[in-house]
Amino acid sequence: MWSFILKRLAQGLITVWFIATATFFAMHNVPGDPLLNDRAMTAAIRANVEAKYGLDKPLGEQYVIYLGNLMRGDLGISFTQENREVNDIIREHFPVSATLGILAVLFAAAGGVLWGALTALYRNRMPDYVIMFFVILGISVPSFVLAAVSQLVLVGTNAAFGVTVLPVAGWGTLSHMLLPALVLGLGTMAYLTRLMRSSMLEVIGSDYVRTAKAKGLPAARIFSKHQLRNAILPVITVLGPSIAAITTGGFVVELVFAIPGLGRYFVEAVQQLDYTVIMGTTVFYGAFLVFMVIVVDILYGFIDPRVRMQ
């Protein structure tokens, strides 16, 4: 198990290096001189930046400087905000995004497993049809539409009750987080529900569930000990990519609900072409996602004995 974890971590490091390199060369390819951008580049920042990145030096040297800075954990200074380090920006805004993301992932995973198992157990009966209708809705409606519509509904609800049932936008308390997390997690939940349903159907038709029935076990025990545990495995394998989808999907939700998260900051940086912030955030997100996938892999190892024993 330990060698497995170490191997995965080493692979993860190489992946992060690949992400950083791809980011560097993609951004270097940007047409025109980023420093000639007329947007809010003060002379002071410009001097700082040139000194720091050796922009007059050849590409290879710049790349080495960039990697060196990265290894020291230095993601650079914002192009548009004087003396603001990218690290500071991440430190300030990422916890908000992470809280929202964790809530959404929990919501998506719990809902996906529950609804997926239910639809499989009630296959081709009323609960299956009803849940699958909402699942298809969740898969087909873009998150920004969902966010906008839910906001609209909330405005209506708040007006109808004359009190603020849930705040429409902003950040701070749990009540601020509920709706955005719901909207953010819904698409993934729909996807996980489908996955869980088909996985559960396969388990229900499997030989070992037939064995469990032949042993005369009560349905509840068959469900909890034999069906659920096996059906959940494929859901866990896609949890890593799902976290990625939810984190980046957070951009839109943060934008619509006016949440001061890193995603919203990233979108703003993109719109203002704040190169260091774009690069820093991309590498940070990339590393975070690689790490999450490793965590999920290890988690999977603990649940599936076949992986654990290897």
CB atoms within 10 A of CB 207: 7
Q: How far is the CB of 136 from another protein (least distance, A)?
A: 6
> Judged by CB under 8 A, which stretch of 16-24, 60-68, 69-77, 169-177 contacts another protein?
16-24
Q: Are 277 and 86 in contact (CB under 8 A)?
A: yes
Main-chain dihedrals φ then ψ at residue 77, nearest 5 degrees: -115, 145
- Whole-angstrom distance, CA of residue 66 vs CA of residue 54: 9
> Judged by CB under 8 A, which stretch of 2-10, 29-37, 59-67, 99-107 contacts another protein?
29-37
Q: Are 269 and 281 in contact (CB under 8 A)?
A: yes
> Judged by CB under 8 A, which stretch of 15-23, 36-44, 91-99, 110-118 contacts another protein?
15-23
What DSSP designation does 29 have? T
Q: How far is the CB of 216 from another protein (least distance, A)?
A: 3
Q: How far is the CB of 174 from another protein (least distance, A)?
A: 26
> Judged by CB under 8 A, which stretch of 74-82, 87-95, 170-178, 264-272 contacts another protein?
264-272
**Sign for the pseudo-dihedral over CA of 66, 69, 73, 77:** negative
Residue 79 in contact with another protein, rule: CB under 8 A: no
Binding test (CB under 8 A) with another protein, winner from 130, 133, 165, 208: 208
Binding test (CB under 8 A) with another protein, winner from 102, 217, 238, 295: 217
- Cβ-in-10-Å burial (0-12, 13-18, 19+) of 122 comes to middle
Give the residue with the Cβ less far from another protein, 43 or 309. Answer: 309
Give the residue with the Cβ less far from another protein, 118 or 231. Answer: 231
Binding test (CB under 8 A) with another protein, winner from 41, 98, 178, 270: 270
Q: Are 152 and 72 in contact (CB under 8 A)?
A: no
- Whole-angstrom distance, CA of residue 225 vs CA of residue 235: 17
Q: Are 153 and 166 in contact (CB under 8 A)?
A: no
Site for another protein in 144-173 (CB under 8 A): 144-145, 148, 152, 155
- Whole-angstrom distance, CA of residue 176 vs CA of residue 168: 8
Residue 309 in contact with another protein, rule: CB under 8 A: yes
**Unique residue bearing structure tokens 């951004």:** 27
Residue 230 in contact with another protein, rule: CB under 8 A: yes
Catalogue the E-assigned strands of the chain: none
Helix, strand and coil percent figures for the chain, each rounded to 5: 80, 0, 20
Q: Which residues bind another protein (CB under 8 A)?
A: 14-15, 18-19, 22-23, 26-27, 29-32, 136, 139-145, 148, 152, 155, 205-208, 210-218, 221, 225-226, 229-230, 233, 244, 247-249, 251-252, 255-256, 266-267, 270-271, 273, 278, 281-282, 285-286, 289-290, 293, 303-306, 309
